[in-house]
Amino acid sequence: MNFGFSEDQLALAATVRDVLRTHCPPGSLRTERRPAWEQLAALGFFGLLLPEETDGLGLGLVDVLPALEETGRACLPGPVVETAVVAPGLLAEVPKLAAGAVCVGVLPPGQAYAADADLADLLVVVRDGRARVVPRQDVRLAPRRGVDPCRPLFEVAFSRSEPLAGPVAPVLARATVATAAQLVGVARELLAVTVGYARVRTQFGAPIGSFQAVKHQLADVAVAVEFAAPLVYRAALTVDAGSAERDASAAKAAAGEAATLAARVALQVHGAIGYTEELDLRFWLARAWSLSAAYGTTAAHRERLRTAITGRRP
């Protein structure tokens, strides 16, 4: 299987990366709820997966995977996966979706709270294998505590809703793979920042990165990221072929483990200062933990993968 990306796919990622560096710097995470969304919409980012007949580009998930990884690397706030990946699969006929004028939130099965529901013009609620859409005016939200300040959680109640046609499982599998791609981006950024810090922080007259104990931890993170990334790429290829449940679980579990390991090592190497309010690192730590729990926890996907391989149910 060829995991090499085409020049067009890499160019899209580079464009998204440039936009996010300019319009979603770490400082914006403290002051803005949706930095860079307007600029991404102008690029057509939210119409990449929409069919051409609804003003989209009709690309496959694998085509946008490097760009999604960049949104994780930038810690981009807002329901990115829900609007760019879930909505094209369930709400493609909604006007102005391709223009990025409609923000979509999702309450997935097995989760009590919806992330970023305060930003959603339309909220998709999935229960008992069926999806329903609720307009903003019919939703009542109650804030709930979460670990990620840029990805707030809400308890959802609603009075009216409309059922959505079509199977929802393939769309959730795509969302799972897209979230795994974001986790790979988060892990890469945490590793880069931690390596940079280990090179300049000195102890006993030497950079802490020269100590074997630190080297080994950073090497473990690098190995975990390089192990997870191909699993995500494979899942993106097979999800568009319609047979991705096992691959999606393998990708999400590996990406979640890589990101949480990167977060733990970053916290240890930074001497726990990553917890402080002033350090931007805390946003990436929180994103690693919050995305690891989105669309199924690492443990849940490990269990699904084990069942798929052995055929034995717990």
The predicted-structure confidence for 146-185, as pLDDT tens digits, reads as follows: 999 999 999 999 989 999 988 899 999 999 999 999 999 9
Task: Note down the domain range covering 264.
Answer: 169-310
| Domain assignment present for 281 | yes
- Distance (Å, rounded) from C-alpha 191 to C-alpha 223? 11
* pLDDT band at residue 49 under the 50/70/90 scheme: very high
Give residue 120's pLDDT: 96
The predicted-structure confidence for 222-234, as pLDDT tens digits, reads as follows: 999 999 999 999 9
- DSSP H or E stretch at residue 14: helix 7-23
Among 111, 121, 124, 53, residue whose Cα is nearest residue 85: 124
Whole-Å CA distances, 134 to 104, 127, 131, 155 = 10, 13, 10, 14
Q: Answer yes or no: are the C-beta atoms of 100 and 118 closer than 8 Å.
A: no
Q: Answer yes or no: are the C-beta atoms of 47 and 97 closer than 8 Å.
A: yes
The CATH number of whichever domain residue 297 belongs to comes to 1.20.140.10
| Domain assignment present for 251 | yes
| Domain assignment present for 123 | no
Specify which residues 107 forms β-bridges with.
125
| Domain assignment present for 9 | no
- Distance (Å, rounded) from C-alpha 242 to C-alpha 223? 29
What is the number of structural domains in the chain?
A: 1
| Domain assignment present for 220 | yes
Q: What's the whole-number mean pLDDT along residues 92-112?
A: 93
Q: Answer yes or no: are the C-beta atoms of 75 and 150 closer than 8 Å.
A: yes
| Domain assignment present for 245 | yes
| Domain assignment present for 8 | no
Burial of 263 (0-12, 13-18, 19+ CB in 10 A): buried
Position 197 pLDDT exceeds 80: yes
Give residue 2's pLDDT: 63
φ, ψ dihedrals at 160, nearest 5°: -130, 150
* pLDDT band at residue 243 under the 50/70/90 scheme: low
Going by the DSSP 8-state scheme, the letter that residue 83 receives in this structure is I
| Domain assignment present for 75 | no
Give residue 228's pLDDT: 97
